[in-house]
């Protein structure tokens, strides 16, 4: 989804900032709940977008329709209980937050039918960006959240093998982007999720 006008910028930028900020805040909050003080010590338990923005990832969101924020650093050695399951919970927290925000945006769009065009566009952008972040981050490739979720399900030895790919993850993602594989999967998946959320919220698309 591209910004072709000042109207789109005014509606889309706030939606983008909300999606990114709440996604990263959710990661940090879950880690804190599990006992890790690291996100708080680094100022990541904040709803200030400046605490979470990654310049390149944000530009990718604006230009290509998908991207990333500055990762929240966590230390699983602080976690209470199983560290592997704890990392899975931290990984899930961001996409789940995006799904909640996408649903709330769809409900708001239904309840404010006939709202001023700028508000209507903001709600649709909110639905789009949160759906996109949920789908993109659940790809099971390190360092994306989906890899942490998958590692929480796999046996410990297999999970360690998955984490060993983390150094190559960004290169693999760039390769998938350059070949068009990522876009061919991501766009229909996001559209499908948006349709499902809109239907659940009683909003026609």
Tell me the per-residue pLDDT of 136-182, one tens digit each, with 9 for 90 and over: 999 988 888 999 999 888 887 777 777 777 777 778 877 887 788 88
Q: In terms of pLDDT, which residue wins out, 58 or 54?
A: 54
User: What is the rounded average pLDDT of the residues 95-114?
Assistant: 94
- Residue 95 to residue 76: CA distance in whole angstroms: 19
Q: What is the pLDDT of residue 64?
A: 66
**Is residue 117 domain-resident?**
yes
**What is the residue range of 111's domain?**
6-200
Residue 205 within any structural domain of the chain: no
Q: Which two tokens stand for residue 161?
A: 């093998």
What is the pTM for the complete model shown?
0.89
pLDDT of residue 183: 83
Q: What contacts 123, CB < 8 A, 6 or more positions away? A: 15, 105, 106, 108, 109, 112, 115
Query: How many angstroms separate the Cα of 160 from the Cα of each of 94, 111, 152, 155?
Result: 22, 47, 10, 9
Q: What is the DSSP letter of 154?
A: S
6 pLDDT band, cuts 50/70/90, is confident
pLDDT reported for residue 174:
78
Active site residues: 24
More confident residue, 162 or 84: 84
Structure letter (DSSP) for residue 167: G
Mean pLDDT over each residue of the chain, to the nearest integer: 89
What pLDDT does 149 receive?
92
Rg (CA), the chain: 17
Distance (Å, rounded) from C-alpha 148 to C-alpha 129?
Answer: 21
pLDDT of residue 121: 94
Hey, what are 26's tokens?
A: 């959710």
Q: What is the share, in percent, of the chain residues with pLDDT greater than 70? A: 94
Mean pLDDT of the region 101-125: 93
Rounded CA gap, 137 and 141, in Å? 9
Number of domains in the chain: 1
Question: Is residue 1 in a domain?
Answer: no
Query: What pLDDT is recorded for position 163?
Result: 74
- 87 contacts 75 by C-beta, under 8 angstroms: no
Higher pLDDT, 105 or 161: 105
Residue of higher predicted confidence among 132 and 155: 132
130 within some domain: yes
Residue 202: predicted pLDDT: 92
């Amino acid at each position: 989804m591209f910004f072709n006008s000042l109207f789109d910028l005014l509606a889309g930028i706030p939606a983008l900032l909300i999606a990114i900020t709440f996604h990263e805040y959710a990661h940090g909050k879950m880690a804190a709940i599990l006992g890790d003080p690291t996100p708080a010590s680094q100022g990541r338990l904040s709803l200030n977008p400046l605490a979470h923005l990654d310049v390149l990832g944000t530009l990718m969101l604006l230009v290509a329709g998908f991207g990333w924020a500055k990762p929240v650093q966590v230390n699983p050695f602080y976690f209470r209980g199983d560290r592997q399951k704890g990392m899975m919970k931290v990984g899930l927290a961001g996409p789940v937050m995006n799904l909640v925000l996408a649903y709330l945006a769809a409900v708001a769009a239904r309840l404010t039918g006939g709202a001023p065009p700028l508000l209507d566009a903001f709600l649709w952008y909110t639905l789009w960006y949160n759906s996109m972040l949920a789908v993109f981050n659940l790809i099971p490739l390190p360092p994306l959240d989906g890899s942490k979720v998958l590692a929480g399900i796999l046996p410990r030895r297999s999970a360690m093998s998955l984490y060993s790919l983390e150094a190559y993850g960004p290169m693999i993602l760039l390769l998938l982007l350059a070949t068009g594989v990522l876009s061919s999967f991501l766009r229909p998946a996001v559209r499908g999720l948006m349709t499902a959320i809109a239907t659940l919220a009683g909003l026609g698309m």
